Structure 1
Amino acid sequence: MTHQLEDELDKILATGDFYFEALGEGRYRSSWHTQGAWNAHEQHMAPASGILTHALENFQPRDDMRIARLSFEIHGLIHAGEFEITTRMIRPGRTIELIEAEMTAKGRTSIVARAWRVITADSTAVAGIEDATVPGPEESEVQNISAQWPGGYIRSIEMRAVRGRRPGKGIAWLRTPYALVDGVHASRLASLIGLADTANGVVPRAEPGDGNWMFPNLDLQIHMYRAPQGQWLGLEVQQSYGTDGIGLTSTVLHDVAGPFGRAEQILTVRQL
């Protein structure tokens, strides 16, 4: 790496107790804590998902609705440094709405996120959840995930794992001491979604650097049957690889009160 490139990275990957700095009018700058695991020059998908969720939540908000589904389509490299988020209404409605947020950097689309917002109502009489609760963070063991994965984002999180975690299946809990956006309040939803993409690295079937295998995800799909709460995100993960270079990471999402939804990530599994 040249000294000029090093200086540029030092400039755009500014340090601080936050993932993003708001520059106004939908523009942001990423900090070093967003640095990805696959490429030192890009952001990790996890905090990028969080800032997009933050933008979607604050676009024409309605007190009588909440986000029930989030989808993130990764179009290419998520550049570190400055970027812009634009939001728009796709499908307005009285009881359901579909909204979209697009992240662009260096003139190219990085991620397109969509959210279904659904009107809330009292469904206590028929409420029921089939996903089982799992041991919480206080019953889990501290893990040094930075020994397994590189990057500033990975170093920014605390991870604890439930005993019995193995390649392909396991349970982990995550939290971070860093604010999603410097000086700006971000909801618990945006902050927790900003950790969810980490699921792909919790129980990898191929260790990073083992045989030069890569398995980056192309998307992140999240469905939530209740609103999450607290600072801990629990990931009950299963990872499967097919024989033709395609895999899937499937996750039940938990907070300290129990399960609240599910996430799916399609993978491209390839050897360098």
Structure 2
Amino acid sequence: MTETQQASEQIELATGDFYYEDLGSGRYRSTIHAQGAWNAHEQHMAPPSGLLAHALELHEPREGLRIARISYEILGLIHAGECTVTTKTLRPGRTIELIQAELATKGRVVIRATAWRLAQSDTSSVAAVEDPRIPSREECQRWDGTTAWPGGYIRSLEMYQAPHHRSGNGTVWIRTPYPLIDGVPSPDWVRLMGLVDTANGIATRVPPGPGSWAFPNVDLQVHLYRQPSGEWLGIDNAVSFGTDGIGLTSSVLHDDDGPFGRAEQILTIRRT
């Protein structure tokens, strides 16, 4: 029996068509839908990103302020099963504040998310966006991401791929029919944050898997110049590999109203 199989058998997962079961007091248990693509006994980074965004949204909310940037640092393997989320304020302020959420598995913090919450004001008279729109879902074709990636998270998604999609540069629309937390409503933007990390797998430069390359991201930086809505996330991205084992996935994020932000993921590239 391999180490991966042994680890998988020791995991107690929640069951149901959702990503997390709320155990109370900041404790959650993941389901098979949160399963990662690199290892069967870990969570994909996308659902925990949504879980931490949910926690940040609820942390000492302030009317007239909204989260404009979330910086996720991946500090270790995100074990499947039970996890704990804690939050705190790092830099209080009347119009600008910095807050933090951490996710721990097996007693160790494995993701740290910091978020800038900024005061909102009416800037409609000068509002402008330079990011172009992407093709609508009606112009795209249904795409089965499981042909490239294993894992319960990828199986949980509905995906559409734009006609111009190619290796290293691609455009997709994705959604999930499952709630982030069983029985707990989440705002649209929080649920969309639970999909953003998918960006690193939609237009891979090289096929993942044994005998090829691994290129996991060690962070996820999300900037939101508009608060998104709806259940569909559009991702328009480009993947760059450097010559020294480091790469970058850069994405423009869209909802049905158009572009709303950007995401960056730094990659560590390794032979498998």
* SS class of match (2:47): helix
Identity across matched positions, percent: 59
For residues 217-256 of structure 1, the aligned pairs below 5 Å read 217-256=217-256
Unmatched 5+ stretches in structure 2: none
- Report the TM-score, using the length of structure 1 for normalisation: 0.96
Q: 1:14, CA displacement in angstroms?
A: 2.9
1:53-105 CA distance string (max 9 Å, x none): 00000000112111000010000000101111110000000001100001111
**C-alpha distance in structure 2 between counterparts of 1:42 and 1:20, whole Å:** 14
Indicate whether 1:140 and 2:135 are aligned: no
Query: Residue in 2 aligned with 1:164?
Result: 164
Q: 1:124, CA displacement in angstroms?
A: 0.6
Indicate whether 1:45 and 2:25 are aligned: no
| CA 1:252–1:144: 2 relative to 1, 3 Å | same
**C-alpha distance in structure 1 between counterparts of 2:44 and 2:78, whole Å:** 7
For residues 5-84 of structure 1, the aligned pairs below 5 Å read 7-9=9-11, 12-84=12-84
Aligned AA (1:180): L
* SS class of match (1:180): coil
* SS class of match (1:181): coil
Asked if structure 2 preserves the Cα contact closer than 8 Å seen for 1:83 and 1:104, the reply is: yes
Q: 1:15, CA displacement in angstroms?
A: 2.6
Asked if structure 1 preserves the Cα contact closer than 8 Å seen for 2:8 and 2:40, the reply is: no
**C-alpha distance in structure 2 between counterparts of 1:66 and 1:155, whole Å:** 32
Q: 1:210, CA displacement in angstroms?
A: 6.4
Unmatched 5+ stretches in structure 1: none
**C-alpha distance in structure 2 between counterparts of 1:192 and 1:167, whole Å:** 24
Asked if structure 2 preserves the Cα contact closer than 8 Å seen for 1:27 and 1:83, the reply is: yes
**C-alpha distance in structure 2 between counterparts of 1:179 and 1:132, whole Å:** 30
Aligned AA (1:150): P
1:211-247 CA distance string (max 9 Å, x none): 3310000000000100001110000010000000000
1:153-178 CA distance string (max 9 Å, x none): 00000110110111100100000000
Q: 1:5, CA displacement in angstroms?
A: 5.3
The RMSD of aligned alpha carbons is: 1.3
Q: 1:136, CA displacement in angstroms?
A: 1.5
- Report the TM-score, using the length of structure 2 for normalisation: 0.96
| CA 1:6–1:242: 2 relative to 1, 3 Å | closer
For residues 247-266 of structure 1, the aligned pairs below 5 Å read 247-266=247-266
**C-alpha distance in structure 2 between counterparts of 1:71 and 1:7, whole Å:** 32
Q: 1:208, CA displacement in angstroms?
A: 1.3
Q: 1:115, CA displacement in angstroms?
A: 0.6
Q: 1:184, CA displacement in angstroms?
A: 0.2
**C-alpha distance in structure 2 between counterparts of 1:265 and 1:77, whole Å:** 16
Aligned AA (1:59): H
Aligned AA (2:128): G
Asked if structure 1 preserves the Cα contact closer than 8 Å seen for 2:206 and 2:212, the reply is: no
Q: 1:258, CA displacement in angstroms?
A: 0.1
Aligned AA (1:118): L
Q: 1:17, CA displacement in angstroms?
A: 1.2
Q: Tell me how many residue pairs correspond in the alignment.
A: 270
Higher mean C-alpha deviation, range 62-71 or range 202-211: 202-211
Aligned AA (1:8): Q
Query: Residue in 1 aligned with 2:208?
Result: 208
* SS class of match (2:131): coil
Q: 1:7, CA displacement in angstroms?
A: 4.3
**C-alpha distance in structure 2 between counterparts of 1:189 and 1:96, whole Å:** 20
Query: Residue in 2 aligned with 1:90?
Result: 90
Q: 1:271, CA displacement in angstroms?
A: 0.3
